[in-house]
Amino acid sequence: MVTEDDVRRLALALPEAVEKTMYGTPAFYVRGKWFARVREEGDVLVLPVGSEEEKAGLIAADPGAFFTTPHYDGSATVLVRFGAVDAEELGELLTDAWRLRAPGRLVAAFDTSPPPDRRLRGQGRRTRPGAGGAGDGERGDRRTA
């Protein structure tokens, strides 16, 4: 089971990530764009994903870990239960979310720099539809700068 401290440690390990408050809870940003937020319950993380199809795939693959609420209907945003993922998977999920929000040049620099921790490169143990796997940086929805 991961904790809020694990979320903080992994999120802030990503390039140019900063912590701010959103709706009174910790949230993580890259160049002014949020990529993760701890919900009010304190044991659920809100993450953007590449598409509503990716969101549906995550929920179908593991409804114990991933879910949504009516508030997020129509949004490419998924909720993750802290108790259902380990730190490695959390790092992968945060990296994928960071990639969606970070400028293309920052993602490219991240992909070409020697990683201090390969777990932050998006090499997941769980198949996530649309995830760029193996740190290849290829996402059809990613902006380029």
Residues whose CB falls within 8 Å of the CB of residue 141, separated by 6 or more in sequence, listed in order: 50, 51, 100, 130
Domain count, the chain: 1
Domain membership flag for residue 115: yes
Residue 145: alpha-carbon gap to chain centroid: 20
* CATH number assigned to the domain comprising residue 108: 3.90.1150.30
CB 18 within 8 A of CB 29: yes
Is residue 126 assigned to a domain?
Answer: no
Alpha-carbon distances of 56 from 7, 26, 36, 145, rounded to whole Å? 23, 25, 18, 29
**Would 98 be classed as within a structural domain?**
yes
pLDDT at 117: 55
Does residue 133 lie within any of the structural domains?
A: no
pTM, whole model, 2 decimals? 0.79
Q: Does the residue 143 lie in any domain?
A: no
Mean pLDDT by 10 residues, the chain (145 residues): 95 98 97 97 96 97 97 97 96 97 96 66 43 38 35
Domain extent, residue 19, equals 4-121
Q: Is residue 101 part of a domain?
A: yes
